[in-house]
Amino acid sequence: MGSAAPNLHGRGAHVSVSSRTSTTRRDSLAEPASGAGSLPIASVTAASRPGRNWGRHGWLRLISPIVVLALWQILSSTGVISQQKLPSLTTLWSTAVNLITTNSPTYGTLQHAMLISLERVAFGFVIGGGLAVILATVAGLSRFGENAIDPIMQALRTLPLFGLIPVFIVWFGIGESPKITLVALAAAVPLYLNTFAGIRGVDSKFAELGQVLGLKRHEMIRNIILPGALPTILIGLRQSLGTAWLALVVAEQINANAGLGYIINQGEQFLQQNVIFVALIVYLILGLLTDYLVRLIERRALSWRRGILEA
Amino acid sequence: MATRDPGGLATGPGSPGSPGSSGPAGGATQVAARTRGLTRSFGEHVVLDHLDLEIRRGEFVAMIGRSGTGKSTLLRALAGLDRDVSGELTVNAPTAVVFQEPRLLPWKKVWNNVALGLRAADPRTIARTALDEVGLAARADAWPLTLSGGEAQRAALARALVRDPGLLLLDEPFSALDALTRISMHGLVLSLWERHEPAVLLVTHDVDEALALADRVLVLSDGKIDHSASITLDRPRDRDHPDLVALRIRLLTELGVATQDVS
């Protein structure tokens, strides 16, 4: 259709009026067929563009981290910054290899610590995140649910989470449960807030459409409300994974006898800065990996969206 | 008290506003929708004021009026979207609505939007057939956000069509489209109407659109039907036909538009 209009303006003035009008009219009436023929091509290129953009320009994002790492290596290996404060990357690499290959009584192995930490985050996240989505759905879908649930969640949001640690130790002891509870709480809050906001943000016109189409309540939730809220829910998912890792770091440094936080504690005790750094880097890598995972989900689940950059 | 009775039988005298030309189903007892004394107010403001309306089966009714005269309120009431109306409201046919915006769910492929809520054994085939009918078969697997305005509104028409409506409510469905697209959409709506024979209520503020399409043009003013005109000319209609020219001037006068500017 857009192609018919320029024709009118561009050439109409110089051509005899009758023939020009008849051509245009034919164009406009033939629109469904010609539109059907030409548009899929346009949409294919539009769909493949984001992928290519990433391939072509993705490496640009790597430049600044590489520069930082190079500076780090140079400054600490030349002694500008003492190895005690900032161990060089090569030192950290051999420390990491050591931690992985030897099962020392002080640290255990790095991979074992990593597994323990991953397990805590996974448990805490599944429990907290699952509860958050359920609670937010109930609160989002009914006034009663909102009145019952939202005040409590809003109060939890303002509560300084790490202030709860001593309370949790009294309640749950010093085993796994206080750590997992803390992670669960940390994961639950951002996911709850975003899911609730996402559900409430679904265009009421779509709800009206569902009503006109005679959708049942569960069909409405499945076809309209949850997909409509999904972009916001996924933002919440990323935030909540971030806070879950944060909570884990704090929880693990208190009364833990295994895990990455335990390694950091031990490193502190024995004044081994390089061990602390290795553990921190593992945290960082795990955090990036989980974030990447969510972004993958996002790209698949939200493939219907035409991004601002691609439009 | 408003009642919607999809299974009920409607009897009663024909519409006072002249029965017009050959609707596919003819007889005055064949009523698709009827209101008696339909009233809707928002606070002090009365939008629909004891409105009487009758749409016969297969009849194409266009309703024009200045903005704020209650056109959309009436359509929403007929669609069952407004439960706060009083008076008598009977709809005897399955109803489908096409809104001003296409309202396609962006997270569902086009065919899935068309099939949404369809309770049939093979919704996919039904959806594809309807998309074929509106000339959009090739876009069935596209995401709605990649459609042009005209294509999206075609998909919305297909979504209404698959429900096999006896009453098709069109709420200014072409007002956001460019002039050329609008003309081809008029042709499409007419051919769909002739093939499927639903009763149609088209709400529009475009007098020419009403003249080109409808059996009967109603003018809504202050929540009442102020004026009603039947058009018996064959379609497609020549907009310069003397009857239409005369009717256009009359309708524009009804709407309070100075006609010396027009002719």
Give A-chain residues touching B106 at CB under 8 angstroms. 304-305
Helices (H), chain B: 71-78, 110-115, 123-133, 149-161, 179-196, 207-213, 242-254
What domain range is B108 assigned to?
58-86+93-261
Please indicate, yes or no, if residue B177 is contained in any of the structural domains.
Answer: yes
Identity of the residue in A206, A215, A303 whose CB atom sits nearest the CB atom of B103: A206
* ipTM (interface pTM): 0.83
Please indicate, yes or no, if residue B38 is contained in any of the structural domains.
Answer: no
Sign of the C-alpha dihedral computed for residues A166, A167, A170 and A172 taken in this order = negative
Query: Distance from CA of residue A34 to its chain's centroid?
Result: 41
Give A-chain residues touching B105 at CB under 8 angstroms. 206, 209, 223-224, 227-228
Please indicate, yes or no, if residue B167 is contained in any of the structural domains.
Answer: yes
Q: Do A306 and B145 touch (CB under 8 A)?
A: yes
User: What's the pLDDT at B205?
Assistant: 87
Q: What are phi and psi of A280, to 5 degrees?
A: -60, -40
Between CA B92 and CA B34 the distance in angstroms is 9
Give A-chain residues touching B99 at CB under 8 angstroms. 205, 209
Between CA B110 and CA B127 the distance in angstroms is 9
pTM of the model: 0.76
Q: Residue-wise pLDDT tens for chain B (263 aa)?
A: 444 444 333 333 333 333 333 334 444 458 999 999 999 999 999 999 999 999 999 999 999 998 888 999 999 999 999 999 999 999 999 999 999 999 999 999 999 999 999 998 999 999 999 999 999 999 999 999 999 999 999 999 999 999 999 999 999 999 989 999 999 999 999 999 999 999 999 999 899 999 999 999 999 998 999 999 999 999 989 989 999 999 999 999 988 886 555 44
Burial class (CB in 10 A: 0-12, 13-18, 19+), B84: exposed
Please indicate, yes or no, if residue B181 is contained in any of the structural domains.
Answer: yes
Q: Which two tokens stand for residue B181?
A: 């697209």
Give B-chain residues touching A303 at CB under 8 angstroms. 143
Q: Residue-wise pLDDT tens for chain A (311 aa)?
A: 333 333 333 333 333 333 333 333 333 333 333 333 333 333 333 334 444 455 567 788 899 999 999 999 999 989 898 888 899 999 999 999 999 999 998 899 999 999 999 999 999 999 999 999 999 999 999 999 999 999 999 999 999 988 988 899 899 988 899 999 999 999 999 999 999 999 999 999 999 999 999 999 999 999 999 999 999 999 999 999 999 999 998 888 877 888 999 999 999 999 999 999 999 999 999 999 999 999 999 988 888 886 544 54
As a whole number, the mean pLDDT across chain B is 87
Q: How many domains does chain B have?
A: 1
What are the boundaries of each domain within chain A? Answer: 4-57, 102-301
Q: What are phi and psi of B52, to 5 degrees?
A: -110, 130
CB within 8 Å of A86: residues ≥ 6 apart? A72, A75, A76, A273
Please indicate, yes or no, if residue B5 is contained in any of the structural domains.
Answer: no
Give the containing element (helix H, strand E) for B35: strand B31-42
Identity of the residue in B97, B163, B180 whose CB atom sits nearest the CB atom of A28: B180
Residue B161: CATH number of its domain: 3.40.50.300
User: What CATH number should be reported for the domain whose range is A102-301?
Assistant: 1.10.3720.10
